[in-house]
Structure 1
Amino acid sequence: MLIFDVHLDLSMNAMEWNRNLRLPVSVINEREIGLTDKRDRGNALVSLPELRKGNIGLVVATQIARYVAPGNKLPGWHSPEQAWAQTQGQLAWYRAMEDAGEMVPITNLRELEAHLKLWNDDMPNSGKPIGYILSLEGADSMVNLSYVEKAYQTGVRAIGPAHYGPGRYAQGTNASGLMGPDGHALLKEMERLNIILDATHLCDDSFWDALGHFNGRVWASHNNCRSLVNHNRQFSDDQIRALVERGAVIGGVLDAWMMVPGWELGFSQPKSMHCNLEVVIDHLDHICQLAGNCLHVGIGSDLDGGYGKEQAPYDLESIADLQHLQALLENRGYGPADIRNIFHGNFIRFIRETWAFS
C-alpha cells in the first residue's frame, strides 16, 4: 500500500549530516563508522532507495534553519539572512535530486494526480522518482514578509512558524508566549498564498493564538498525544479536538521520546522502554477516539530528524518497515479503508481540498 510520509528532513540529512541519500542505508551507515560528531552516526534509517522499497512514493520534505538571538543556547544561525541562505542550500540539494531523476516536486493538483497515477501503476518502484511537497519547519529564515512569496515561488506549500525555543514569528517547543504582530502578519501572508499552517512545534500560547488569527488550512505534520506522553511537545486533548474541528490531519511521529513516557535522551534504549511500532498506533488510536473516526490521522515519521535507530521503534530496521503498520493496524481491528486513509488517504484528501481552487 502506498505510504505518504508528511515529515522528513531529507535535505538536512544530506547537507548537515553529509549523507548521500541516493545510497542504501547500509552503505550510509558503514561510511559513518567511527564518526562521533552527531550522536546518531551509523544509525540512519532513511534514504531514497529505502523509500522506494517501502512504497513511500510521496513525502513532505523540509527546509529548516533556526535563527538564534544572543543568549539562545540552541544551535542555529546568527542572522535571518544566514538562515535564509541555509534553506536555499537545502533547496539546491532538492533541485539536484530532481535533475538526477530521484525526486519530483509536487506544487499543484495536476502534479499530484500525475504522480499518484505513476505510483499506482505496476512498474517497479526502482525507476520512479519520490514526489515531494516542500515545507518550511520554522519561519525564522523569512527575513521579512516578502520572503514568504519568494518561498512560495520555490515550491513551499506549508510553513510551521516555530521550531524549538523562541522564534522570530512564534514561540516553539519548550518556550511560551503569543505570536505577536509579526507572527500575525506572517499568518495573513500565508493565508493569502494558500500556504498550509503546520501547527507542529507551536507552544500552547502560540498554538491557540495561531488558530485564532488564521483562517486557512491547518495540519500537524508530526505530533503525538500529551495524554500518553506528558510534554509540551505533544498535543493536549483540547488541542487535538480543535484541530479536528478545523479539518486538520495529524501525522504520528516515531521519535521514541515522543512515543513512550519516561524516555531519557542519550540513555534510554528502545527495547528496554518497550518502544515499538505498536506504540505509535496507541497515539493514532487516541486521536481517532477523540475524533470519533479515522479521518484525521496519518504518518509523519520524522525519522532521521536528528536521531536514528537508537531512538526509534526497535522493530524498525529502516523506513521501509513502515509497511509493517498494515498488519499491526489490522490486528487492532482497523479495516482496509481506515488503513488506506492512515497510510495516505487522509493527507491526500486534505491536499486535494486545499489546492482545489489554487
Structure 2
Amino acid sequence: MFIIDAHLDLSMNALEWNRDLRLPVSAIRRREAGLTDKPDRGRGTVSLPQLREGRIGLVVATQIARFVAPDNPLPGWHSPQQAWAQTQGQLAWYKAMEEAGEMVMIKDRASLDAHVARWMGAIGAKGVAEGPVDRLPVGYILSLEGADSMITPDYLQRAHAYGLRALGPAHYGPGRYANGTDSSGRLSADGKALLREMERLGIILDATHLNDDAFWDAMELFNGPVWASHNNCRALVDHNRQFSDEMIRALVSKGAVIGGALDAWMMVPGWIRGKSDPKTMGCNLEKMVDHLDHICQIAGDVSHIGIGTDLDGGFGKEQCPYDLETIADLQTMLPHLLAKRGYTRQDIENIFHGNWLRFLRNAWK
C-alpha cells in the first residue's frame, strides 16, 4: 500500500547529521561507524531508498531551528535571524534534492493528486509494482517544527510563497511564539498573531508539541485546518508531550488526523533516555497500534489516525521499536498487526494514506 508519513526531519539529518540520504541506510550506517558525536550514529533507519522500498511516497518534511535565550539550556541558535538562516539552508537542501530528481514538493491539491496517481499507478492495484517505483521522486509537504525562526509573523508570507504548508508553533521548551514540551504558559501576543496569519494564508496548524495551555489557546483561536503530525496518548504514557483524552476529543471535533509516532519513550511508560533498551522495555510496533487504537476508541471510528513516525528525529535503532530495522518495515509489518486487531483492509488503507489525503484535499480545496 501507498504510505504517507506525516513527520520526518530529513533536512536536519542531511545538514546537521551530515547524512547523504540518497544512499541506502546500510551505507549511511557504514559511513558513521565509530562516530560518537550523536547517540544514533550508525543506527539510523531513514533514507530515500528505504522510503521507496517501503512505498512511502509522500512525507511531511520539516524545517527546524530553535532560538534559545541565554538561560535556556536546550541546543539552538542565539538569534531568530540565525534560526531563519538555518531553515533557509534546509530549504536549499530540499531544492537540491528536487533538482536531482530525488524529491518533489507538494503544495496544492493539483500537485498532490498528480503525485499520488503516479505512485499508485506504479505500485499497482494489488500492491505489486507495475512500474519503476525505485526511481520515483518522494513527495514532500514542507512543514516548520517550532516557529522560532519566523523573525516576525510577517515572515510567514514569504515562507508560504516558497512552499511552507504546515507549522507547529512550539517544539521543546520555551518558544518565541508558543511554549512546548516540558514547559508551561499560554500563547504570547505574537503567537496569537502568528495563528491569525496562518489562518489567513491557509497554513495547517500542527498541534504537536504545544503544551496544554498553548494547546487550548490554539484550539479556541484557530479556525483553519489542524492536524497533529506525530503524537501519542497520555493515557498510555503519562507525559505532557502526549495528548490527554480531552485533547484528542478536541482534535477530533476539528476534523484533525493524528500521526502515530515511533519514538520509544513516547510509546512505552518508564523509558529512561540513554539507558533503556527497546527489547528490554518491550517496545515493538504493536505498541504503536495500542496508541492508534486508543484514539480510534475515543473518536468512534478510524478516520482520525495516520502515521507520523519521527524516525529520524534525533534517534535511531537505540530508541525505536526493536522489530523495525528501517522505515521500510512499516509496509511489511503494520498491516498484519492492524488486521490482528480487527482493522479491515479499507481501514488500513485509510491509516496508511486515506485519512491524510482526505484531510489535505479538504484543506486545499
TM-score range, shorter chain: over 0.9
3-state DSSP of counterpart to 1:318: coil
Partner in structure 1 of residue 202 of structure 2? 194
RMSD over aligned Cα atoms: 0.5
Q: What are the residue-to-residue correspondences of 1:254-265 with 2, within 5 Å?
A: 254-265=262-273
Q: What's the CA shift string for 1:159-208, capped at 9, x where partnerless?
A: 00010000000010000000121100000000000000000000000000
Choose the corresponding residue for 1:328, options 329, 337, 341: 337
The answer as to 2:150 corresponding to 1:142 is yes
- State the one-letter code of the partner of 2:189: P
Partner in structure 2 of residue 353 of structure 1? 362
- Say which is worse superposed, 94-103 or 120-129, in terms of deviation: 120-129
Cα distance in 2, alignment partners of residues 47 and 174 from structure 1:
30
How far residue 349 of structure 1 moved from its aligned partner, in angstroms, is: 0.3
Partner in structure 1 of residue 350 of structure 2? 341
Choose the corresponding residue for 1:228, options 231, 236, 251: 236
- State the one-letter code of the partner of 2:193: A
Cα distance in 2, alignment partners of residues 14 and 214 from structure 1:
33
How far residue 154 of structure 1 moved from its aligned partner, in angstroms, is: 1.1
Cα distance in 2, alignment partners of residues 124 and 289 from structure 1:
39
Q: What's the CA shift string for 1:324-344, capped at 9, x where partnerless?
A: 101111111100111011001
Cα distance in 2, alignment partners of residues 154 and 70 from structure 1:
31
3-state DSSP of counterpart to 2:84: helix
- State the one-letter code of the partner of 2:53: K
3-state DSSP of counterpart to 1:70: coil
Choose the corresponding residue for 1:215, options 215, 219, 223: 223
Cα distance in 2, alignment partners of residues 48 and 37 from structure 1:
23
How far residue 145 of structure 1 moved from its aligned partner, in angstroms, is: 1.5
3-state DSSP of counterpart to 1:49: helix
Aligned length, in residue pairs: 356
Q: What's the CA shift string for 1:214-241, capped at 9, x where partnerless?
A: 1111000000000000000000000000
Cα distance in 2, alignment partners of residues 315 and 39 from structure 1:
19
Choose the corresponding residue for 2:302, options 273, 294, 302: 294
Partner in structure 2 of residue 240 of structure 1? 248
How far residue 301 of structure 1 moved from its aligned partner, in angstroms, is: 0.2
Partner in structure 1 of residue 126 of structure 2? none
What is the TM-score normalised by the length of structure 1?
0.99
The answer as to 2:326 corresponding to 1:318 is yes
3-state DSSP of counterpart to 2:194: helix
Cα distance in 2, alignment partners of residues 28 and 22 from structure 1:
9
- State the one-letter code of the partner of 1:96: A
Cα distance in 1, alignment partners of residues 131 and 162 from structure 2:
30
The answer as to 2:79 corresponding to 1:79 is yes
3-state DSSP of counterpart to 1:73: coil
- State the one-letter code of the partner of 1:332: R
- State the one-letter code of the partner of 1:29: R
What is the TM-score normalised by the length of structure 2?
0.97
3-state DSSP of counterpart to 1:57: strand
3-state DSSP of counterpart to 1:131: strand
- Say which is worse superposed, 116-125 or 93-102, in terms of deviation: 116-125
- State the one-letter code of the partner of 1:37: D
Cα distance in 2, alignment partners of residues 293 and 353 from structure 1:
19
- State the one-letter code of the partner of 1:274: G
Choose the corresponding residue for 1:151, options 159, 167, 170: 159
- Say which is worse superposed, 117-126 or 295-304, in terms of deviation: 117-126
Cα distance in 1, alignment partners of residues 269 and 16 from structure 2:
29
- State the one-letter code of the partner of 2:66: R
Cα distance in 2, alignment partners of residues 145 and 287 from structure 1:
33
Cα distance in 2, alignment partners of residues 355 and 97 from structure 1:
25
Q: What's the CA shift string for 1:96-155, capped at 9, x where partnerless?
A: 000000000000011001101110112121110000000000000000122101111111
- State the one-letter code of the partner of 1:195: I
3-state DSSP of counterpart to 1:258: helix
Cα distance in 1, alignment partners of residues 282 and 324 from structure 2:
13
Moved over 3 A (4+): none
Cα distance in 2, alignment partners of residues 145 and 252 from structure 1:
29
Cα distance in 2, alignment partners of residues 62 and 293 from structure 1:
29
Q: What's the CA shift string for 1:75-106, capped at 9, x where partnerless?
A: 00000000000000000000000000000000
Percent of aligned positions that are identical: 69
